[in-house]
Amino acid sequence: MSKEMSATARAPKGTAAGAAEPQLRKGALELAVLALVERAEPDGIYGGALIEELAALPTLAAPQGTVYPLLSRLRAAGVVETTWQESPSGPPRRYYLLTEAGRERLAAQRRVWLALSRDMAALLDSAATTTKARGTRTREEGEPR
């Protein structure tokens, strides 16, 4: 995890927001992994490259100990399939590809995520507008509660 992420995007540990963050990230991680596998088609993507892609998106960065078990669960559920391919350096790599069930799952999760994020953005924008209209400051503006 980058220092920038911890300073800007992560909630402080021990707070209600900090306790909720892992659950939010867990739900988003599967969608992110499926989207990255889809983006890598038709060749697929190997686990190490997938982890690097996630690391480039600080709020989605996840360690091997999180990503590989998720990939195993997706494979067991028939959402992804794997092939072994020779590596230009080192041992062969396991590449992940979406199955038809995986494409359907990704499409369904994408629809839900887009609707949820649209509605949440509208709600948060509305709440911020209401707060500013009342002349009160939000915690983000530096006012302790």
Q: Measured between alpha carbons, how far apart are the two ends of the chain, in Å?
A: 29
The span from the CA of 126 to the CA of 130, in Å, is 6
Q: Which tokens in the block code for residue 26?
A: 């867990």
pLDDT digits (tens, 9 = 90+) for 22-70: 888 888 999 999 999 999 999 999 999 999 999 999 999 999 999 999 9
Instruction: Walk across the sheet containing 93-98 and list its strands.
Output: 45-46, 93-98, 80-85
- CATH class of the domain at 3-136: mainly alpha
- Which residue in 103, 57, 56 sits closest to 80, CA to CA? 103
Name the helix (H) or strand (E) containing 38. helix 16-39
What percent of the chain has a predicted confidence (pLDDT) above 90?
A: 67
